Structure 1
Amino acid sequence: MSYYRRHMFFCTNRREGDERPCCCNRGGAEAKDYVKARAKALGLTGPGGLRVNAAGCLDRCEEGPVAVVYPEGVWYTWVDEEDLDELVDEHLVHGREVERLKL
């Protein structure tokens, strides 16, 4: 068994002076903070549970903001907190991938 059951990485890369967009300018860091706080409040975090982390560039900039959930390797994007709540409730709590938010 791995130390965490699931690991969710949010791209929080900030790109300055580049033509490519960056997830940080699209709310990646705020989304990470929101999901991390919600997961903690729901008691999902810690050994055997969920870990929510910031990541550097995940190289899917044009599709951003992006996050990926392991061990499934499912990539997501979102628009608002309602989408993030759905990701937490469906994928992180119940293990059901959210098709409409998948990349």
Structure 2
Amino acid sequence: MSNETINDAKSGNVSDGDEPVYLVHVFCCVNERPKTHRRGSCGAKSSKQLCDYMCRLGMTLGVQRIRINHAGCLNVCEYGPAMVIYPEGVWYKFENEEDVAEILRSHVIKGKKVDRLALSIPPGTLH
């Protein structure tokens, strides 16, 4: 068991088995590659700052039972910045604070997919 898991258990952030602690889990790619890399990278497109904005906005709006994490490469670099939201497994591209706010308000809070920002990931393309 990791120290983080132990600390979560002490603070009450671990499920007791009856239901999940988080109803929604967001992974935002913040991977950075050299600017000259052929695929680019989400980190070079301000994804870390936008993910942090999503966290702050979620707190401001009082959203509960959501976890927003920085993630390594999600392997959709050409479309990024990118995030994936579970449990639905919906992938999004986002470019600015307005996109992030729309995803948070529509998908996370209301449960409505944001079609204009959704990525269609063909099966077998992620390794």
TM-score (norm 2): 0.75
Q: Which residue of 2 aligns with 1:14?
A: 32
Give the Cα separation in 2 of the matches to 1:2 and 1:61.
30
Q: Which amino acid aligns with 1:7?
A: H
Q: Which residue of 1 aligns with 2:106?
A: 90
**How far did 1:81 drift?**
1.3
Number of aligned positions between the proteins: 100
Give the Cα separation in 1 of the matches to 2:95 and 2:27.
17
Give the Cα separation in 2 of the matches to 1:27 and 1:33.
10
Please point out which of 43, 57, 82 is paired with 1:38. 57
1:53-93 CA-to-partner distances (Å, cap 9, x unmatched) read: 00000000011110010000000012221111111110111
Give the Cα separation in 2 of the matches to 1:80 and 1:21.
17
TM-score (norm 1): 0.91
**How far did 1:11 drift?**
0.1
Computing the radius of gyration from Cα coordinates, the structure with the larger value is: 2
SS, match of residue 116 in structure 2: helix
Alignment gaps of 5+ in structure 1: none
Q: Which amino acid aligns with 1:3?
A: V
Alignment gaps of 5+ in structure 2: 1-18, 120-127
SS, match of residue 99 in structure 1: coil
Tell me: higher relative CO, structure 1 or 2? Use CA pairs within 8 A at least 6 residues apart: 1
